[in-house]
Structure 1
């Protein structure tokens, strides 16, 4: 990958804050520096190895096509992030494991297993599809930070629709924001 000197760095921070020793010992990543250096020395090999942990509907022809300043990763490949984050776990022991824990106020808690979240996301995706939402469409999600917001985002991604979450708008005038 070609290095360019004309890309401006806006922020540089040299301080490194390491996690507690017990967290490092129990972490999936044992040697961050080694992994980081590998990503710099062999970025294509590094990312191909990382991507191999996902399920792909169609494998890539080329890991990286670099035409400064544009990069195309996993050229020709097809995958769906919701399939990898949620759907594929339904067929495994994870189906009944916790996938989402939501805590509201005052102390309200809702929990969803992978199976429960999968079912809710599919219901939401079905409603969106019934409304005509399809790949490439844009969907604005205007709701508070509740489990259904996560379900809406996942439903959009499942359909390959582009979503944007909007919150904090004056309650009696949300339409003003969208025009």
Structure 2
């Protein structure tokens, strides 16, 4: 199809981030810019990293290593970074602590906003709790949570300590959650007592208990009291 259903206004195009990026690199023609991004991927992605201010704890030695074939590319070899440092810390360092980091609206219309400063505090609390439980670098941590501020906090806390975030969709049944925990040999699971979906209460803790019963590697279960309902505290 060649029919466009929407065209951005000239004003919207002028203020777009991609327009700013193109101009910063001397491009005024979109087609020429796209060709350059395809023909010189290392230039493009290196420029994106610098444009976005992505921080590295250890710099990469090159952008793309395709010496093993295009099927097995290595992006940013030798580089080391932390997701939480880039998603939270650098914004605090830049003076954006009071700006919104997470804006959430629940199934029932309830809303919650967390600033970068608030995110840093909550992420730090959970990260320290995980460390206290003996969770560390390289350990896998299952995250079985609804789409919520807690899910963002859990993701950042897991990556803060160098552990591996293992997502489990909130709509999964116990068997599906268990299979992901088993495959990753997760040592901990972060879940919630439940949440609302289409006006109904989804009982996550009971599903988590059933899943963990089949996963001997899981040593700890951390539960967010989202609904505050009575739940079993032993599996």
Bucket of the pairwise TM-score, normalised by the shorter protein:
0.7 to 0.9
Change in 2 beyond 3 A, CA 1:18/1:160: farther
Structure-2-length-normalised TM-score: 0.63
| Alignment-derived partner of residue 63 in structure 1 | 63
CA distance in 1, matches of 2:98, 2:152: 18
Residue from 43, 49, 52 that aligns with 1:51: 49
The alignment status of 1:41 with 2:39, answered yes or no, reads: yes
The 2-side partners of 1:83 and 1:14 are apart by 43
CA RMSD of aligned residues (A): 2.4
Equivalent residue of 1:29, what SS? helix
Distance 1:25 1:98 in 2: 25
Partner of 1:8: none
Whole-angstrom distance in 1 between the partners of 2:89 and 2:44: 25
Provide, for residues 69-99 of structure 1, a one-character-per-residue CA deviation record: whole Å limited to 9, x for no partner. Answer: 2111111111112111110111223111111
In structure 2, runs of 5+ residues without a counterpart are 23-29, 174-202, 215-235
Partner of 2:220: none
How far is the alpha carbon of 1:136 from its aligned partner?
A: 1.5
Greater Cα radius of gyration, structure 1 or 2: 2
TM-score normalised per structure 1:
0.81
- Please give the per-residue CA displacement for 1:73-127, whole angstroms capped at 9, x wherever unaligned: 1111111121111101112231111111111142211111111111111111111
1:26 aligns with one of 15, 21, 24: 15
1:140 maps onto 2:142 in alignment: yes
Residue in 2 aligned with 1:168?
Answer: 171
State the alpha-carbon separation in 2 of the partners of residues 109 and 51 from structure 1: 32
Q: CA deviation at 1:48?
A: 1.4
Inter-CA distance 16–65: structure 2 relative to 1 (3 Å threshold)? farther
Q: Distance in 1 between matches of 2:42 and 2:166?
A: 30
Deviation readout 1:33-57 (Å, 9 max, x if unpaired): 4443222111111111222231111
Say which is worse superposed, 169-178 or 84-93, in terms of deviation: 169-178
Structure 1: any 5+ residue segments left out of the alignment? Answer: 1-12
Cα pair 1:169 1:177 within 8 Å, conserved: no
